[in-house]
Amino acid sequence: MLRKEIVVFKVFLCIALVLSTSCIHTKSVEHLDVQVHPASVTQSHLDSQININKHIYLEEEYPLELFFQNLTAGKFDAAIKTLDLRYKPGTTANRALTQLMNAGIIPVYVRIENSSAETVSVSEANFSLEGDSQKLAAIPAAAVPREFTSLHGEAIAANAINVTLVVAATIVLLALLVGIQSAGGAPNFDYPSFSGSGSGSGSGGSQNDILNDTTLTKRINYRDYLLKEMKLPPGAIFEGLIFFRKGKEHFNGPLKLNYLPHSS
């Protein structure tokens, strides 16, 4: 009787090792760094106190994309006005900024130089983004989202494969146990090793890992570059980002960054 208990214990130990080897995870964190130096900038404001250069990051736009969006929304006049067969590439390849834009946020790079002889107060509240008849206020620095969570489609499939393999391995082990017990022998277990192609950040990094994590939280490092209320002494320069949240309406035509000094 004791021998059978030892065999059963070995079976469950083997199953636990199989589960461990399969690396089943449900969460992971991906850290992304923001690119704050765009390839090109344009001057948007120049007066006796402050010089501002800017770059508006935009997603790629496919031919007729806005046309079909307006048509689907029943906006026939707007659809005719947005009849455009050109492909417009995105203005950045940075993954962090792309993730922000996918979440409905328009990032804007600004380089602010105080060219006056006095200290100048500046914040994200000084800026707005305008296109067509729409005008967006900047998202307050304290309210900018710090995390984005999404599901990884390939990971879900990898999870299904792993679970299937674990179940199959369990059935094989139990069948092996029954067969050996019927023959009156004691099994010599070596837990199976699975091979695959997945590589989630939460996995152990082994060549045998086949699972990508299903829930991916993206932590975007932008806080060091976020424009918030500050005082710029004479000659000082700030480089950073302002964020605007898109509404349901789409901007047609070029976007314009506006700057309004604080009233004294």
For residue range 180-189, list pLDDT tens digits in order. 666 655 444 4
Query: Which amino acid, 254?
Result: P
Query: Which amino acid, 52?
Result: I
Domain contains 75 = yes
Report the SS3 class of residue 234. Answer: coil
Number of separate domains in the chain: 1
* Proportion of the chain in helix, strand, coil states, percent, rounded to 5: 30, 25, 40
pLDDT tens column, 88-106: 566 677 888 888 888 888 9
Question: Over pLDDT 70: what percentage of the chain?
Answer: 58
Domain contains 77 = yes
Domain contains 31 = no
* Rounded distance between C-alpha atoms, residue 226 and residue 144, angstroms: 9
Domain contains 86 = yes
Report the SS3 class of residue 241. Answer: strand
Residue with the bigger pLDDT between 178 and 31: it is 31
Q: What angle do CA 217, 163, 160 make, to 5 degrees?
A: 60
Is 80 exceeded by the pLDDT of residue 54?
Answer: yes
pLDDT at 67: 58
- Give the rounded distance of the alpha carbon of 179 from its chain centre: 51
pLDDT at 208: 44
Is 50 exceeded by the pLDDT of residue 86?
Answer: yes
pLDDT tens column, 57-74: 887 665 665 656 666 767
Domain contains 35 = no
Domain contains 85 = yes
Is 90 exceeded by the pLDDT of residue 118?
Answer: yes
Q: Indicate the pairing of strand 215-221 with strand 27-33.
A: parallel
Residue with the bigger pLDDT between 207 and 86: it is 86
> Which residues, other chains included, contact 260 with Cβ-Cβ below 8 Å and sequence gap of 6+?
126, 127, 128
pLDDT at 138: 94
Domain contains 66 = yes
Show the domain range for 85: 60-91
Domain contains 72 = yes
pTM listed for this prediction? 0.63
**Highest-scoring range by mean pLDDT, 8-12, 15-19, 123-127, 166-170:** 123-127
Is 60 exceeded by the pLDDT of residue 123?
Answer: yes
Average pLDDT on 23-36 reads 78
pLDDT at 207: 41
